[in-house]
Chain A
Amino acid sequence: MIAGPKLTLPDDDRDHIQRSIDAPIALLEYGDYECPACGQTHPIVKAIQQQFGDDLCFAFRNFPLTNVHPHAEHAAEAAEAAGNQGNFWGMHDLLFENQDALQDEALAEYAAALGLDHIRLIREVLSGAYAGRVREDFKSGVRAGVNGTPTFFINGQRYDGARSLEPLLAAMKQRSGHYVIL
Chain B
Amino acid sequence: MITETRYQDMYSKSRRAALAPGTDAPDFTLRSTPDQWLTLSEFRGEPVVLAFYPADWSPVCGDQMALYNEMLKEFQDLGAELIGISVDGAWCHAAFARDRKLHFPLLADFEPKGAVARQYGVYREKDGVSERALFVIDDEGKIHWSYVSPLGVNPGANGILTALEDLQNKKKGKQDDCRTKTYAA
Contacts and interface: CB of A to CB of B under 8 A. Distances in A.
Interface of A: 32, 35-38, 64-68, 138-139, 142-149
Interface string B56-99: 00001111101101110010000000000000000000000000
Contacts of B62: 37, 147-149
A90 B63 CA distance: 29
Contacts of A68: 60, 63, 66, 100-101
Given A65-B66, A65-B70, A139-B74, A146 B156 contact: yes
B165 to A, nearest CB: 11
16 contacts: A35-B61, A65-B66, A65-B70, A67-B69, A67-B102, A68-B60, A68-B66, A142-B67, A142-B156, A142-B157, A142-B161, A143-B161, A147-B62, A147-B156, A148-B61, A148-B66
B154 interface: yes
A37 B66 CA distance: 15
A147 B67 CA distance: 7
A149 B71 contact: no
Identify whether the interface residues of B are mostly helix, strand, loop, or mixed.
loop
Instruction: Indicate the member of A139, A142, A145, A149 with the most B CB atoms within 10 Å.
Output: A142
Interface residues of B, number: 21
B105 interface: no
B24 to A, nearest CB: 29
Contacts of A139: 74
Given A65-B70, A146-B156, A148-B66, 8 more contacts: A32-B61, A38-B61, A67-B101, A143-B161, A145-B156, A147-B154, A148-B61, A149-B61
A142 to B, nearest CB: 5
A65 B157 CA distance: 14
B158 interface: yes
A122 B24 CA distance: 52
B106 to A, nearest CB: 14
A1 to B, nearest CB: 13
B21 interface: no
A65 B102 contact: no
Given A67-B100, A142-B156, A143-B161, A148 B69 contact: no
Contacts of B66: 65, 67-68, 148
